[in-house]
Amino acid sequence: MSPAVAMRRPALFLAFWLLGSLVLAFIVVPLLSLVAAPGVTGLVRAAAMPDVRAAIALSLGAALVAAALAAVSGVPLAYVLARSAFPGKGIVEAVVDLPLTVPHTVAGIALLLAFGREGVLGEPAAAWFGLRFWGTFAGIVVGMLFVSLPYAVNASRIGFEEAIDPHLEKVARTLGAGPWRVFTRIALPLAWRGVMAGITLTFARAISEFATVALLAYYPMTAPIKVYELFLRFGLDDATGAAVLFLGIVLLLFVLLRQFAYGRGGNRGFGR
Amino acid sequence: MSAQALAVEGVSVALDAFALRDLSLAVTPGEVLVLLGPNGAGKSVILETIAGFHRPLQGRVRIGDRDVTALPPEARHVGYVFQNFALFPHLSVAQNVRFATEARGTARAGRLEGERRITALLARFDLARIADRRPADLSGGEKQRVALARALATDPAVFLFDEPFSALDAATRDALRDELADFLREAGVPALYVTHDYAEAMAFADQVAVVDGGTIVQCGPAERVFAAPGTARIARMIGVENIVEGQVRAVADGEAILALGSSEFRVPLHDRAVAAGQRVSVSVRAEDLSVLLPGQAPSAADIVVPARILRLANRGPLVRVDCDCGFPLIACVTRAQCRQLALAPGHQVLVALPRAALNLLAG
């Protein structure tokens, strides 16, 4: 809405702002309550617990691996979906979005069946590569990847579709560049923002996943599972310290990732 | 075959909602062929097929003496210039040009040689001064020069222009049109130029092909196509203002005697076959007509009909004069003529039609 239109309807605009501030409060108030709750001593106590530190480190590591895998596998798929028309494209798109709609406990069971000891993927992976998913780092990554992959694909795809005039890729081909060179030199740099936004979202979604990961690999414990366990065993106070520590580190990383994503593409001409 | 810079031979292409049907055209070295036609006629699809973005169901595409029908776009050596020039927005002017030399592998022959070539191209198109700028900071003219330099960097065998000016304002368009016409004349690279704008076609064309419904409906030297469109539909597509219908009274000495309104005309037949009694249409361009005051003597080559002026309309430097001669007729005069003749709606005048400008339409 342009400012001029907003000026003409001050009452409506005011009402919308009131509703909007309710939304903002709904997000900010619980997080502020959380941050205010433990105090410095609670944070220090949580940070002093080796199992809390290990859980946070594990979450960060697994989420980074999941985001990297999502980038390597999801960005090419996003490019294909953005650039080609083929029969059954709608089905492929629906499949990509499926993890967003499947309840996460259900996703966990499904992954357990596929990647478990006797699963169609788990059994050959163990037999051929010695790769086990049940109660392992690999299992945590698989759980995270399943629920977060759609963000990488969809955001990258929007990047490829909206940031790039299709004529640019055509002209690059006529200038002698093959499809791979066009992808790496033209498409990827121009869609950089969308791709990085997708990877950042994937990372954020992956690191916060609880249910899917818990069903496939309760141990070793990721930070969300550790927070849950502290809450069950020792109550709200201990859980809160670990939760705030986790939140702080995740937010810091999120800000750094965004900086990296937008800092690099920020002053480049992305218009058509 | 090698006498032609570009030849499209019997090409058919099927796309989702569109098809090219058995299309053939040829461009000889140093010549500009303009593809003229309404939006959606298939002009861009023809260029894309030549560049290698659509695989023909049948037929061949030859560039020089190479059959490129099965080659991908990067192996065809065409210089493609798109609407708005399609410069890479994340690369500087020099990098845009360098992309072409690197991609074509000319730089592999020697990095120094590649850089020397880039420097020469930047100098030739007066771009050295702005080599580090991004496309977003360039004027329309600078963008066009970068697009031409970049395309030339690949040593294209043929240039393809896809309505490069369609998104520009009128003043910029006029300036760039002259600049591009000069470039095409000097560079001598054969070119295929797509437009739906008759004035643009006039500016560039050696040959004109009129495209309609995925096929070429008329092709020939520009002067001939513009003066003698084959059908009423083609005449309308190339911007002919006057298409008048009449009846053939008689045919004699390579001429048809036509009744139009209350007047009788002798129209050259050329190769058209008509019979007495048949209803036919004649096209004539407004700019070929002249407006005279009653009593002024016409030239012997003209047919003169009395007319009443219905309205005057400004068309840039010209004035369009809508007349009623018993049938509607549109003429164009300069502003100066309009003033000298004191033309005004309601006035009685004479309209002179040069016999040679009258074109008998088929169908």
Please name the residue that has the structure tokens 């070429």: B216
pLDDT at residue B173 above 50? Answer: yes
Residues in chain A with CB shorter than 8 Å from the CB of B54 are none
Which residues make Cβ contacts (< 8 Å) with residue A1, sequence separation at least 6?
none
Q: Name the CA radius of gyration of chain A, rounded.
A: 22
Average pLDDT, chain A: 89
Taking CB atoms and an 8 Å cutoff, what residues of chain A touch B136? Answer: 269, 271
pLDDT band (50, 70, 90) for residue B274:
confident
The band of B214, judged by pLDDT with boundaries at 50, 70 and 90, is: very high
Chosen for mutation from B6, B82, B160 (greatest number of chain A CBs closer than 10 Å) is B82
Q: Does A175 touch chain B (CB under 8 A)?
A: yes
**Residue A86: closest C-alpha in chain B:** B16
**Tens digit of each residue's pLDDT, chain A (272 residues):** 455 555 567 889 999 999 999 999 999 999 888 888 877 788 888 889 999 999 999 999 999 999 999 999 999 999 999 998 899 999 999 999 999 999 999 999 999 999 998 899 999 999 999 999 989 999 999 999 999 999 999 999 999 999 888 899 999 999 999 999 999 999 999 999 899 999 999 999 999 999 999 999 999 999 999 999 999 998 888 899 999 999 999 989 888 887 877 765 443 433 33
The structure tokens listed for B223 are: 């002067």
pLDDT tens profile B222-258: 999 999 999 999 999 998 999 999 899 999 888 889 9
Helix or strand holding residue B350 (H, E): strand B348-354
Ordered DSSP codes for A78-97: HHHHHH---TTHHHHHHHHH
Q: What is the CATH number of domain B239-360?
A: 2.40.50.100
- For B248, the 3-state DSSP assignment is strand
Using the Cβ of A268 and the Cβ atoms of chain B, whether some distance falls under 8 Å is answered with: yes
Task: Measure CB to CB from residue B103 to each of A170, A175, A190 and give the nearest one.
Answer: A175
User: What is the pairing mode between strands B191-195 and B32-36?
Assistant: parallel
* pLDDT on residue B84: 85
Residue B241's closest CA among B344, B311, B322, B301?
B322
Identify whether the C-beta of residue B274 lies closer than 8 Å to the C-beta of residue B362. no
Q: Is the pLDDT of residue B1 over 50?
A: no
| A171: chain B residues, CB-CB within 8 Å | 80, 82, 86
**What is the amino acid identity at position B220?**
G
What pLDDT, on a 0 to 100 scale, did the predictor assign at position A263?
66
B116-130: b (≥16 Cβ within 10 Å) or e: ebbeebbeebebeeb
pLDDT higher than threshold 50 for residue B356: yes
The CATH number of the structural domain formed by B6-235 is 3.40.50.300
Of residues A175, A185, A269, nearest to B136 (C-beta): A269
- Report the pLDDT value the prediction gives residue B265, as an integer from 0 to 100: 83
| Distance between CA atoms of residues A59 and A205, nearest Å | 11
The residues near B11 (Cβ < 8 Å, ≥ 6 apart) are B20, B22, B23, B24, B49, B56, B58, B59, B60, B61
Identify the residue with better confidence: A267 or B132: B132
Nearest Cα neighbor of B50 from B83, B92, B14, B13 is: B13
pTM: 0.83
Q: Compute the distance between CA of residue B15 and CA of residue B56 in angstroms, rounded to an integer.
A: 10
Task: Report the distance separating Cα B187 and Cα B151, nearest Å.
Answer: 12
Question: Can you give the residue ranges of every domain in chain B?
Answer: 6-235, 239-360
Nearest C-alpha neighbor of B323 from the set B340, B339, B304, B336: B304
d(C-alpha B208, C-alpha B33), whole Å? 6
